[in-house]
Amino acid sequence: MKNLLLPALLALLVSAQSASAQTSPPAPAAPDTLRSQLVRGTVRDKATGQPLPGVTVLVKGTTNGISTDAKGAYALTVPLAAQATLVFSSIGYVTREHAVGRARVLDVVLTADARQLSEVVVTGITIRGVSSVSGSVSNVLAGKVAGVMISDKSRRSSHASPRLSHPAREEAGAGDTYATIKENAFFEVKKAPLSTFALDVDNASYTNVRRFLNEGQLPPRDAVRVEEMLNYFRYEYAAPPAESPDPVRISTELAVCPWNTAHQLVRIGVQAKKIETAKLPPANLVFLVDVSGSMYGPDRLPLVQAGLKLLVKQLRPQDRVALVVYAGAAGLVLPPTPGSQPEVILDAIDRLQAGGSTAGGAGLRLAYATAKQHFNKDGNNRVILATDGDFNVGESSDRAMEQLIVDQRESGVFLTVLGCGRGNLRDSRMEALADKGNGNYAYLDNLDEAARVLVAQFGGTLFTVAKDVKLQIEFNPARVANYRLVGYENRMLEAEDFNNDRKDAGELGAGHTVTALYEIVPVGSSQPLVDKLKYQAASAAPTAGQPATAEVMTVKLRYKQPHGLSSKLLTQSITGAPAAIASASPDFRFAAAVAQFGMLLRQSEQRGTATWASTEALANGARGTDADGYRAELVRLVRLAEGLSGSKAVGKR
């Protein structure tokens, strides 16, 4: 297989080098405005008037289509023909057709179809091949880019593995692999007063869950990581003061727990400083793209290519990009090229094709070697790996791949992992690689998500402001009897790891926010986890007024500068009485709703009185301004999940 692929890699290299030598790239062909027109519009829920993201808008009788963005908006090039018709469809809504005629703006409302949701039976995954999808991301790019065409130009070679369809399976998500999650239990403060964990800004789990729900399936339990669902959303936390030397700031809030009113809920928020794109340090980026047979299909390589094109449009002249590919062998398709030559970079991305086995280890080694060869000590040096994680040649075990990443991160080259595809998604492997590589992991379920990760969050995704960030919480036994951390199961640390600067932890990018929730059982709760002991000496009861004035807990945070070796300590205490959930901030209530949603999807034993209805109401009442529409989208996903849950007892209204 290697021998078959090497000529193709060499051809790519020669073509890319020839393109880089051109002083004036050919002008793009003018669009045929006489035979087509751009139609824009917004799709809304008829009952609520709220915009509907994720609605499929398709030119009837063709494969030309798009999904509405976070604001329910779409923009699609439509043939200028009298019979042209757009079909609007979404799970849980009645499909609607609308003739286009010569309309330039076409707003549509969809009616909910409760019967459709209640009758859905999950039998498996079917991937439908799409040859061309035109997607508007103008809402994310603020008008800089009107749209992007994903054209599946890839052709299977004689040794490619087609992935266009999968047979129906008995279990949703069959073929994908996820790390087993054992949910955090309650700890007794008197026996375990410290809770320590590494921060995690990954949010791949949320987009993967969204993909399952939009395709009419409940996600596998282990695909649901509550902390990644929490951290998908932005919250209005106080930013570090401009004059502060610290790139992060802690904020806290205490209120009654909505799924168990006898308990309390603590929100810990961490805000990283924001940096304007123009002021970010120069970037030395290496795109490492999996072009193996498993990447064949419109939701894999073509989607990755479209996402990387969006990123290229954000590059500045001082930034440099190289392109490495791997399949049966690894090759350098594009040497480091300045951002002032976007045509050369885009041409190299366009030439990628899927086919062959997957030499992931060889590709990683070549990508790191390329990044180190052009290392910028004053800049951001990063490998961006785009793959479905299906490594099957070379280093094939998770441990071997992780060790390769650990050995390389000490050089100062960080790793970002972009996951894609379904049916053979190696989620656990990609998450581990990103964690070990001082980077973050995102799952691309559509083009809008690629734009969100690589454009709207350009700084946070690619530029680290603090590394090895970890939290340690000390609880006051006078106020807290028991506690549990909601999520972060695979980020837990030992207490002594907090002061150990050699212990790897999480990274924060520019503008990132991180949210953690603790459910606590207060001293004197009407629903204690364990009854008072009859034969043991009881500790002194808190004095009058102490519960409202004594500290509940102290939050300690350690971080290092991106190229630093020693950590710095920040602390903040939490005092006061818990607020009623109705009086808590919108951010607090929305985060609590997201946590409830995750627990319901996981069928958590800790979900208490949470239901789909209460979760929807809590989230809907805490949407706030919701400028990007993502909070409204979560409300829609809760409704989808309720319908898909069918007769299951979990979360029934």
Q: In terms of domains, do 480 and 622 share one?
A: yes
pLDDT of residue 318: 93
| Residue type for position 114 | A
**φ/ψ of residue 422, rounded to 5:** -155, 160
Burial code (b: 16+ CB inside 10 Å, e: under 16) for 417-452 equals bbbbbbbbbbbbbbbbbbbbbbbbbbbbbbbbbbbb
Measured CA to CA, the distance from residue 22 to residue 259 in angstroms comes to 63
Residue 362 sits in a domain whose CATH number is 3.40.50.410
Both structure tokens of 569: 């300590």
Which domain CATH number covers 90? Answer: 2.60.40.1120
Is 11 among the domain residues?
no
Q: Is residue 17 part of a domain?
A: no
* Alpha-carbon gap, residue 440 to 258, rounded angstroms: 31
Q: Are residues 91 and 216 in contact, defined by beta-carbon separation less than 8 angstroms? A: yes
Dihedral over alpha carbons 313, 317, 318, 320 (to 10 degrees): 60
Residue 31 has what pLDDT?
Answer: 41
**Residue 597: which of 193, 263, 259 has the closest Cα?**
259
Express each pLDDT in 61-79 by its tens digit.
776 777 777 688 898 888 8
Q: CB–CB of 176/424 below 8 Å?
A: yes
417 domain-assigned: yes
518/471 Cα distance (integer angstroms): 12
pTM score: 0.74
Is the residue at 437 inside a domain?
A: yes
- 562 and 508 in a single domain? The answer is yes
Strand partners, 338: 320
297 and 444 assigned to the same domain: yes
Q: Report CA-CA distances (Å) from 234 to 210, 302, 467.
A: 17, 28, 20
Same domain, 507 and 383: no
pLDDT digits (tens, 9 = 90+) for 633-653: 999 999 999 999 874 444 444
Same domain for 208 and 306, yes or no, is: no
- What pLDDT digit, counting tens, does each position of 441-477 carry? 999 999 999 989 888 877 777 788 999 999 999 999 9
As a residue count, the chain comes to 653
> Above 50 in pLDDT, residue 219?
yes
Instruction: Tell me: do 87 and 204 sit in the same domain.
Output: no
Least confident of 107-121, 131-145, 266-280, 426-440: 131-145
Highest mean pLDDT among 25-39, 70-84, 98-112, 251-265: 251-265
Residue 185 has pLDDT above 90, yes or no: yes
Going across the sheet that includes 73-79, the strands are: 73-79, 36-45, 108-110
Residue with the bigger pLDDT between 424 and 155: it is 424
**pLDDT in the model for residue 159:** 30
Q: Are residues 561 and 479 in the same domain?
A: yes
Residue finishing a domain among 417, 437, 456:
456
pLDDT digits (tens, 9 = 90+) for 322-331: 999 887 667 8
Greater model confidence, 516 or 76: 516
Q: Do the domain assignments include residue 50?
A: yes
Amino acid 23: pLDDT: 37
Model confidence band, residue 365 (pLDDT cutoffs 50, 70, 90)? confident
499 with 472: CB under 8 angstroms?
no
What local confidence, expressed as pLDDT, does residue 149 receive? 29
The whole-number pLDDT of residue 456 equals 83
Structural domain count, the chain: 3
Same domain membership, residue 413 and residue 308: yes
- Percent pLDDT > 90 in the chain is 45
Same domain, 607 and 487: yes
User: Which structural domain range is residue 494 located in?
Assistant: 187-275+465-529+548-645
44-60 pLDDT per residue, tens: 988 888 888 777 788 88
Asked which of 81, 97, 119 is the last residue of a domain, the reply is: 119
The amino acid present at 363, given as its one-letter code, is G
Where a domain ends, among 437, 456, 475?
A: 456
Residues 85 and 115 in one domain: yes
What stretch of H or E contains 593?
A: helix 586-602
Q: What is the DSSP letter of 143?
A: T
User: What's residue 618's pLDDT?
Assistant: 97
479 token code pair: 């106020």
In terms of pLDDT, which residue wins out, 272 or 138? 272
**E strand or H helix that includes residue 372:** helix 360-373
The three-state secondary structure class of 243 is coil
10 CB-side CA count, 13 A? 6
DSSP string, 251-304: EEEEEE-TT-TTSEEEEEEEEEPP--GGGSPPEEEEEEEE-SGGG-STTSHHHH
Instruction: Name every residue whose Cβ is closer than 8 Å to that of residue 296 and which is 6 or more positions away in sequence.
Output: 154, 156, 160, 161, 162, 163, 164, 354, 355
Reported in sequence order, the residue ranges of 440-544 that DSSP labels E, i.e. its strands, are 441-443, 464-475, 480-486, 506-509, 513-522
**pLDDT at residue 538 in the model:** 60
The DSSP call for residue 183 is P
Higher pLDDT, 627 or 590: 590
Higher pLDDT, 520 or 275: 520
Tokens standing for residue 648: 């299951």
Residues 265 and 304 in one domain: no
Query: Cα–Cα distances in Å, from 281 out to 175, 245, 562?
Result: 41, 17, 12
The answer to whether position 570 is within a domain reads yes
What average pLDDT does the segment 340-361 reach?
81
pLDDT of residue 134: 28
Q: Is the pLDDT of residue 523 over 50?
A: yes
32-38: Cβ within 8 A, 24+ apart: 34/80, 35/79, 35/80, 36/77, 36/78, 36/79, 36/80, 37/77, 37/78, 37/80, 37/102, 37/104, 38/75, 38/76, 38/77, 38/78, 38/104, 38/146
CA distance 486 to 263: 13
With a cut of 60, say whether residue 4 has pLDDT above it. Answer: no
Q: Which residue has the higher pLDDT, 653 or 370?
A: 370
Alpha-carbon gap, residue 55 to 446, rounded angstroms: 12
Whether residue 616 lies inside any domain: the answer is yes
For residues 296 and 275, what is the distance between their CA atoms, to the nearest angstrom? 37
Which 8-state DSSP code applies to residue 23? S
Question: Pick from 181, 120, 235: which is nearest to 590 by CA?
Answer: 235
Identify whether the C-beta of residue 296 lies closer than 8 Å to the C-beta of residue 162. yes
Residue 533: pLDDT over 90: no
Kindly tell me if the per-residue pLDDT of 390 is higher than 80.
Answer: no
Query: Are both 555 and 430 inside the same structural domain?
Result: no
For residue 352, tell me if it sits in a domain.
Answer: yes
Output the domain CATH number for residue 210.
Answer: 2.60.40.1230
Read off the pLDDT band of 631 (50, 70, 90): very high
Whether the predicted pLDDT of 333 surpasses 80: yes
Query: Maximum Cα–Cα distance for the chain, whole Å?
Result: 89
